[in-house]
Structure 1
């Protein structure tokens, strides 16, 4: 269960800040990332994308490995940080 904004500001805020923090990432940013990940796999858009990828006739393992090796992670990390910054403003 992902804490809500009310939880982050409530009586459990210190425990949430302590136990949800990551390596170099404060708890509130990590929780935002959890929510964004859930939106990608738990809502209709993410499920549709997952279904599409499972039905495309291709060597999925090699395609995924190639995507992993060649993907520009810095651009993605920058976009996620920008999105999370605007979501909290």
Structure 2
């Protein structure tokens, strides 16, 4: 395990984990099935290490993809996993 990952685990009681895509992959380069597999792996990691997962239903889109143009496989994956209902993008539209 990387030192940064270990540090996150040690500091877990001090923050809420936002579910995201494993290895910070770019969602617009993945299929819906690959997205679900990746997000599931992240959820399993957070569960294994007792990371508190946000229940707000909010997430910033990974790599700023999915807001515009909309990438439907990302939204469908979020819907199937049921933990993201609202999203936004940092610094849109400059990125």
Which TM-score applies when normalising by structure 2?
Answer: 0.29
Which is richer in helix? 1
Which is richer in strand? 2
Which TM-score applies when normalising by structure 1?
Answer: 0.31
Structure label with greater radius of gyration: 1
Q: Which protein has greater RCO, CA pairs closer than 8 Å, 6+ apart?
A: 2
